Amino acid sequence: MHHLQGPMIKRLFLIAACVFFVHALPAAGQDTPENANFKLAIKLLNDGLFTQAEDQFRSIIDRYPNTANAVESRFRLAELLKRRKSLAEARGLFQEFALQHQDHQRAPDAWWHVGEIYAEEHNYAEAGQAFARLKTFYPKSAKAPAALLKASRYFLKAADFENARTVLNAILIEYAQSDVRLEAQSELGQLYLATGEYERALREFSRLLTEAISTTMRADVIVSIGETHALLGNRTEAEARYREVTGTYPESAAAQKALIKLGDLQRQFRDYSTARGNYETVANNSKAPADLRRLAFIGLAETAIAQKNYSDAENAYQRLFRDTGEKTVEPQVYRKAAEAARRAGSFAQAERWLDHLYADTLIVTDRRVLLVDMAEIAREGKNFTSALARYRSYLKRYPDDPGAPFAQLRIAEIEEQEFRNHSSALQQYAAVNERYGVTRVSDDALAGRARTLQAQEKYEEAAETWYQVLMQYPASDLYEHAEEQYRLLTEIGGGDHERAVEQLTELVTMRIDNAPVASVNVLLGRIYLEDLRDFERAEQRFDAAVNGGVSGSEAEEAGYGAALAVVRLAQKGKRTTADAEKRCMSFFTAYPESERRDDLGWALFRLQSAAGNATARLDAATAFLARNPARHREEALLVYGHALAALGRLDDAEKEFTTVIETSAAGALIAEACYERAMVRAAGKKFEAALADLQTCHDRAPNGRQAAAALLQSGRLLTRVGRYSEAISACNRCVSEYAYSALADSARIQLLTALSESGAHNNAVVASRNYLEQVESNPFLGEEHTQQYLFSHAFVLALARLRSDAKIALLRYTTEYPSGTHIGEVYYALGQMYRDEGKIDLATAYLQQSADFRQGSEALLAAADLLLESGRYSRAVDSYRRVEESATSSREKEYAASRIVIALYRDGKLEQAGNEAQAFRSRHPEAEPVFDEFELERGKHFFGQGDYRTAEDIFEDVEDSDTRVLAAFGMYWIGRCHEAQSKNADAQEQFDEVIARHPQSEAAVQAMLALARMHMRAERFQQAAQQYQTLVDAGAVSEENLKVALNGLIRCYDKLNMYDAALEMTKRFLDAYPYDQTAFRKRVNLGVFYYQLKYYDTAIEHMENLLGEAPANDQAEIRFTIGEAYFSKGDYTQAALEFLKVPYLVVGKTEIDWTGSAYYMAGQSYEKQAKFSLAIEMYQKIIDTPGIDGFFKTEARKHIERVKALMN
């Protein structure tokens, strides 16, 4: 039978192959009606008769629903529908195919098509999910890595950064050998750019340049590196990278992108002409990719906007839409184009662009924002009908949205101001507060109602409504306006017509009774003044009465009435204050005992104080009080005190406010005086007294004008004196009780400060994030709110030591608000952050930018000092010279000049330094300590040259300095001279003397570090550790020296095998300096220490958490250490797998070749499992792998022989 076995197997194989062929090709060889129909459909498809092919595929699906031909027809039909843009139906068919036929070979393709269709519909989030599903269902598919790459790009477009990061890491870890790995690494860099993690992006891109990548990718990566530097504020480096690409790869698409990025950089620094030229080069290049030409047109528009040339900006957007097609443009571009058109006055065009965007339901964008933009543009363009329709549409669609009360208010304002539909306006204003309760616009709505009533000439109701504004919204920004309107309606405007009729009846009776004309003029003047509020005629009638010979009380009334009429006219701007003063002084002179003096004097005083500065208000109050008024004295004293405070006379102001508090019977006046006295006392740092006044203010008038401000100021002062829980309570009350007021925003910001300073950082971060989200969720709130809360959020994050998040927020501020209110402070904070991280060039760049926005030379001096400290001496000299030129303070000028001398000494320019030092001595002969500092630097110069004898002579002179700090350094450097000449005993004695004679000095710290270094060199690790420990425990040590001491301790403990102590010091370092440049390396060392302490599970978990951000060299060591931990805990199977990840998953070159060690340990792991053949295979890998050290290969051969012997 054996001779038949071969032919039989061959026949069975042929039969099986035929069966497989028949099933694989849908009945291709069978001439059935079903097959004939399918063949016809395929022929129609191949001939381009798509409509007929579609019909035929549908017919097959209907007639043969459960056959292989029907399955294939469904897929082909979906492809046809996709081709003719029936996207929704095509997507449905592909999804159905993928889910119902999961084992079909085309199922992965179906998910691919679903992703592409979602992308074409601009639904990038679903596109990303579809491509990710392909990998989820078919992880072994050849398309899986590419699908993940596609998914990452669409997640990035949808701003779904978490999912983007997940799929990219999946490529880099699970498909490390795939063709798309390098692209994934580049995408990861782009993700870091999108999330503001610029340093990580730079690290990722720089790592790519060490790989064997294509010329095209290399050019793209260099552009990305330039973009990263630009976002980090490093203009010089960014420009260099862009020019590298345009020079080295001039014909590439990357060169076109580099030109655009150069334009962006030049525009940022206001070199508009050059920027425009770069944009035009790309825009006019018909061979440039369409997406880059779009960016070029946008750049031209942004440049025009920066120059406030909005017509040119509109034209650039017109070119963009015309030349590249509207469907390719991102939603935010439409909004920017509409804004440019609005500013150019092309309101109809602006509305058209936004309408186009709003009508495209496939575009994923915030339609609330679009509706608001369209409404506001229509209103500004005086298309009020359209504006009303947009606002009403907003209310209908989003009735519970944070912007709803704002939309309701806008509707009311248009009805009132544009259509004069007063009854409708009143209804709409009422709806704002009835529907939405207390909001930011509650006071605006009530004020609008008052205005509308005035327009209807319902003066009494209007006055009552303005009074309601004063009572219900005392913290409103509209308070002064409401107060003025209420006063005008009760004193000046409107008029009491019924009373006027009664007066006129009396006048007619007087005429019938033949009363004198002068008396009639007095009565007419009174009617015009008090009832009709016609002040010009009132003045004329009163003057006529005086000129007509009126006497007695009527003469007094006429004089008073004429003067008051002129005051009212001056308040309306129809007469001058001088006219009013002249009239009033005449009355005061003529009637020194009149009871009307106080009322007229008060009216004049209010006129004078409303129009003048602090000095004018002081003079007006002095004049009023000099007349010893019986009424309004306390009000005048308040103004007097306020003017004194404004002029810096705080003690005098405090006395005046105290007088009001002690003499007034009115609670409201006492409350106001308490508030003003509190502000004066706070300015004089009498914080507890100020807090008591603020409490009295709130108690006296809990609904008064100053109540909200008193709570806010209490929050600020309580924070300042460390009473944080009370501060938090005061701020919360201000926010909750005065939500309509701008003071509520100030209270929120102060609340964040109080929370942070109290140590409640988590609460501060959560509150800050909530506030930011609240303002960003309301499309009616302008960018002034967003930038304020973003700025506050950044600093809350920084105080919570979430420096990475803080930096992202600060960098976002620089991108979104380059001319924002806080941009100088933001640049300064970034400069300080990068300085702390040791990134001197970046730090200097930001500090110098800060100097352009901050008053004074603080930032410029900080940048210069940083350059000096970091050894950039020539740049430091340039910066100090800028300070000399720009500083207004002689002290700053002197300091800058002295630093120039020191920088020159350190730069080795001995002769120039000497000349500058001599010039400094001539200009500042009294600056003796600085002269000794120059000598110290001169000695250090000779020390650096190796001329220790000359250096020592100079240091001995410095040792005699009267300035103890410098004398201590003179001693220290003498010790350094001994050390450099190997006179170790003399050096140690000198350093000990520095520590003994100057124990608290910086020189003593340096002496202790020098002693520690000497002990380390002599391998006296215990003694070295003692020196470092003393510094660590000292407390008052600079950050730089503390870092040196901690690093020294870690090394000592490691050398002494005291891994628990090394672990503790490493943790302490990371807690204090989590963003130090050595931080990641220390985190790796932590894992090694865990391993050495036999905390294997902890070591494994710790190391695995580091893999995501580890560069190649660290990644190899991390994986190797994980393998060692598994090996040591006896899990040899997992150990072998972990060791093999080193050669198979670690990409890129490493400083240490871990491959040989990894194969060796994998072999050891297999030996432990008695898998000797696999162990031999691992040792053979060492021999066969090129580049492994020869010693390893020799040892591997020995191990192979040993294992073979064991097997035998």
Residues 505 and 601 in one domain: yes
Question: What pLDDT score does 514 carry?
Answer: 58
The string of pLDDT tens digits covering residues 551-600 is 999 999 999 999 999 999 998 889 999 999 999 999 999 999 999 999 99
Using the predicted structure, report yes or no on whether residue 51 has a pLDDT greater than 90.
no
Q: Compare 1208 and 606 and report the one with higher pLDDT.
A: 606
Q: Compare 32 and 756 and report the one with higher pLDDT.
A: 756
In Å, how far are 843, 859, 894, 1004 from 884, measured between CA atoms? 21, 14, 8, 33
Rounded to whole angstroms, the Cα distance separating 114 from 108 reads 10
Question: What pLDDT score does 2 carry?
Answer: 40
Q: Compare 709 and 3 and report the one with higher pLDDT.
A: 709
Dump the DSSP string for 432-480: HHHHH-S-TTHHHHHHHHHHHHHHTT-HHHHHHHHHHHHHH-TT-TTHH
The string of pLDDT tens digits covering residues 1083-1115 is 999 999 999 999 999 999 999 998 877 776 788
Give the number of residues written for the chain.
1208
Mean pLDDT for 51-67 is 84
Question: What pLDDT score does 372 carry?
Answer: 94
The one-letter code for the residue type at 836 is D
Domain-located, residue 245? no
Rounded to whole angstroms, the Cα distance separating 828 from 820 reads 14
The string of pLDDT tens digits covering residues 396-434 is 999 999 999 999 999 999 999 999 999 999 999 999 999
Distance between first and last Cα of the chain: 38
Using the predicted structure, report yes or no on whether residue 20 has a pLDDT greater than 70.
no
Measured in whole angstroms, the distance separating CA 478 from the mean position of its chain's CA atoms is: 31
- The enclosing domain of 472 has a CATH number of 1.25.40.10
Q: Compare 566 and 516 and report the one with higher pLDDT.
A: 566
Domain-located, residue 305? no
Residues 485 and 501 in one domain: no
Using the predicted structure, report yes or no on whether residue 1150 has a pLDDT greater than 60.
no
The string of pLDDT tens digits covering residues 486-497 is 987 886 555 555
- Domain hosting 1186: range is 1112-1208
Closest CA to 705 of 678, 667, 735, 749: 667
Q: Helix, strand, or coil here: 522?
A: helix
- Banded pLDDT at 18 (limits 50, 70, 90): very low
Question: Angle at Cα 964 formed by Cα 962 and Cα 969, nearest 5°?
Answer: 115
Question: What pLDDT score does 973 carry?
Answer: 96
Domain-located, residue 692? no
Domain-located, residue 884? yes
- Banded pLDDT at 843 (limits 50, 70, 90): confident
Spell 602-635 as b/e; 16+ CB within 10 A means b.
Answer: bbbbbbbbeeeeeeebbebbebbbeeebeebbbb
Residues 469 and 563 in one domain: no
Residues 473 and 523 in one domain: no
Closest CA to 67 of 40, 36, 44, 34: 34
Mean pLDDT for 661-668 is 86
Rounded to whole angstroms, the Cα distance separating 98 from 147 reads 15
Mean pLDDT for 622-639 is 89
Listed range (2-11, 62-71, 596-605) with the worst mean pLDDT: 2-11
Under 8 Å between Cβ of 808 and 436: no
Q: Which two tokens stand for residue 430?
A: 């009422």
Residues 503 and 460 in one domain: no
End position of a domain, from candidates 490, 506, 537: 490
Residues 475 and 528 in one domain: no
The string of pLDDT tens digits covering residues 112-129 is 999 999 988 878 889 999
In Å, how far are 21, 58, 838 from 32, measured between CA atoms? 17, 18, 78
End position of a domain, from candidates 455, 471, 490: 490
Closest CA to 777 of 353, 401, 261: 401
- Banded pLDDT at 28 (limits 50, 70, 90): very low
Residues 1118 and 1173 in one domain: yes
The string of pLDDT tens digits covering residues 796-830 is 999 998 888 898 899 889 888 888 889 888 988 88
The string of pLDDT tens digits covering residues 343-382 is 999 999 999 999 888 887 656 678 899 999 999 999 999 9
The string of pLDDT tens digits covering residues 714-749 is 999 999 999 999 999 999 999 999 999 999 999 999
The one-letter code for the residue type at 214 is S
Residues 595 and 553 in one domain: yes
Question: Angle at Cα 351 formed by Cα 350 and Cα 357, nearest 5°?
Answer: 100
Rounded to whole angstroms, the Cα distance separating 412 from 384 reads 12
Sign (positive or negative) of CA dihedral 361, 367, 373, 376: positive
- Banded pLDDT at 854 (limits 50, 70, 90): low
Q: What φ, ψ does residue 825 adopt, rounded to 5°?
A: -65, -35
Domain-located, residue 562? yes
Residues 539 and 457 in one domain: no
Mean pLDDT for 1145-1151 is 60
User: Is residue 20 classed exposed, middle or buried when 0-12, 13-18 and 19+ CB atoms within 10 A define those classes?
Assistant: exposed
The string of pLDDT tens digits covering residues 200-250 is 889 889 988 988 889 999 999 999 999 999 888 788 899 999 999 999 999
Domain-located, residue 45? no
Residues near 249 by Cβ (< 8 Å), separated by ≥ 6?
Answer: 215, 219, 255
Q: Helix, strand, or coil here: 1019?
A: coil
Q: What φ, ψ does residue 1045 adopt, rounded to 5°?
A: -65, -45
Mean pLDDT for 774-783 is 92
In Å, how far are 989, 1012, 1090 from 1029, measured between CA atoms? 20, 10, 22
The string of pLDDT tens digits covering residues 272-322 is 999 999 999 999 998 999 889 999 999 999 999 999 999 999 999 999 988
Q: Compare 43 and 1171 and report the one with higher pLDDT.
A: 1171
Residues 482 and 562 in one domain: no
Question: What pLDDT score does 652 carry?
Answer: 94
Under 8 Å between Cβ of 570 and 610: no
Q: Which two tokens stand for residue 946?
A: 């190796």
Rounded to whole angstroms, the Cα distance separating 517 from 548 reads 7
Question: What pLDDT score does 503 carry?
Answer: 55
The string of pLDDT tens digits covering residues 669-694 is 899 999 999 999 999 999 999 999 99
Using the predicted structure, report yes or no on whether residue 482 has a pLDDT greater than 90.
yes
Helical (H) or strand (E) element with 96: helix 87-100
- Banded pLDDT at 667 (limits 50, 70, 90): confident
Residues 603 and 514 in one domain: yes
- Count of domains forming the chain: 4
Rounded to whole angstroms, the Cα distance separating 14 from 27 reads 18
Domain-located, residue 864? yes
Residues 547 and 449 in one domain: no
End position of a domain, from candidates 877, 900, 923: 900
Domain-located, residue 441? yes
Question: What pLDDT score does 911 carry?
Answer: 94
Mean pLDDT for 48-53 is 80
Mean pLDDT for 514-532 is 82
Rounded to whole angstroms, the Cα distance separating 669 from 657 reads 10
Measured in whole angstroms, the distance separating CA 954 from the mean position of its chain's CA atoms is: 51
* Mean pLDDT, all residues of the chain: 88
Using the predicted structure, report yes or no on whether residue 505 has a pLDDT greater than 80.
no
Predicted TM-score (pTM) of the model is 0.70
Question: What pLDDT score does 909 carry?
Answer: 93
